[in-house]
């Protein structure tokens, strides 16, 4: 799991890098808000982001806000890090799109616990997305017939899985989304319909 550490202070980034790397996470760094947003835009795998509130060029809440406007990206979990602790600030950060909020100075165990929750959340989102794709593929195949169909060489009826013989159109209507519109082919018109018409004329 990749962890984005976005902070304009190099000491803060190094502390977080050492702490998170010790837990086996892969760290990517951003020195300002624009770099952080660019890294989120370029992400090809799920990301947990530790985003400092006060950064040059683009502040943390704005990074979160713009990141949430992006589409077709892997799941992301964004945590704002800040010394601001008022309810108004917390609400502002969460409304901007942050998933969680960590107040500085933070306890390392608390930070690791919140990061772990973020990792679990993006993994769950990723799993759900994969499941949705699988269901979509299954639905796309559900109306597609495949395999061998026993068909009578004389009357052309099809034997279903209950060993019952039924008309082709009845079978296909039941096991697919095909709708039939009955008509008469030229050969059948000559064989079946034309004689009847001639008979009616003579009568």
Residues 88, 21 share a domain: yes
User: Domain span at residue 176?
Assistant: 145-180
What does the pLDDT look like over 119-171, one tens digit per residue?
999 999 888 888 888 877 766 665 555 556 677 777 777 777 677 777 777 76
pLDDT interval class at 178 (50, 70, 90)? low
pLDDT interval class at 174 (50, 70, 90)? confident
Structure tokens that stand for 202 in this block: 């003579």
Q: How far, CA to CA in Å, does 78 sit from each of 2, 23, 54, 159?
A: 12, 18, 15, 57
For residue 152, the model assigns a pLDDT of 77
For residue 165, the model assigns a pLDDT of 75
What does the pLDDT look like over 15-44, one tens digit per residue?
999 999 999 999 999 999 999 999 999 998
Residues 121, 173 share a domain: no
Residues 121, 67 share a domain: yes
For residue 77, the model assigns a pLDDT of 95
Residues 173, 135 share a domain: no
Name the domain count of the chain.
2
Q: How far, CA to CA in Å, does 125 sit from each of 41, 97, 117, 130?
A: 18, 16, 12, 9
- Residue 51 scores a pLDDT above 70: yes
The enclosing domain of 54 has a CATH number of 3.40.50.2300
Q: How far, CA to CA in Å, does 28 sit from each of 10, 105, 175?
A: 13, 22, 52
pTM, to two decimals: 0.65
Residue 2 and residue 77: Cα distance in Å, rounded?
Answer: 11
- Residue 49 scores a pLDDT above 90: yes
For residue 14, the model assigns a pLDDT of 95
147 burial level (CB within 10 Å; 0-12, 13-18, 19+): exposed
- Pair 121, 151: CB distance under 8 Å: no
Question: 93 vs 152, which has greater pLDDT?
Answer: 93
Q: Report yes or no on 185 lying in a domain.
A: no
DSSP structural state of residue 52: E
Asked if the peptide bond before residue 105 counts as cis, ω within 30 degrees of 0, the response is yes
Last residue of a domain, one of 139, 162, 194: 139
Residues 66, 158 share a domain: no
What does the pLDDT look like over 69-86, one tens digit per residue?
988 888 999 999 999 988
């Amino acid at each position: 799991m990749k962890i984005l550490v976005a902070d304009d202070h190099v000491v803060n980034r190094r502390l977080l890098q050492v702490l998170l790397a010790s837990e086996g996470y892969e760290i990517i760094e951003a020195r300002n808000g624009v770099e952080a947003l660019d890294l989120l835009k370029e992400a090809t795998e799920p990301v947990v982001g530790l985003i400092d509130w006060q950064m040059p060029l683009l502040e943390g809440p704005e990074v979160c806000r713009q990141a949430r406007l992006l589409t077709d990206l892997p799941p992301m979990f964004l945590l704002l890090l800040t010394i601001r602790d008022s309810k108004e600030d917390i609400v502002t950060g969460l409304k901007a799109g942050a998933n969680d909020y960590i107040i500085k100075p933070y306890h390392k165990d608390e930070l690791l616990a919140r990061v772990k929750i973020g990792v679990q959340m993006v993994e769950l989102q990723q799993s759900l997305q994969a499941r949705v794709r699988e269901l979509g593929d299954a639905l796309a195949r559900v109306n597609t017939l495949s395999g061998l169909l026993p068909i009578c060489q004389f009357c052309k009826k099809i034997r279903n899985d209950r060993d019952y013989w039924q008309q082709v159109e009845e079978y296909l209507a039941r096991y697919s989304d095909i709708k039939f519109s009955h008509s008469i082919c030229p050969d059948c018109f000559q064989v079946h319909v034309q004689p009847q018409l001639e008979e009616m004329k003579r009568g």
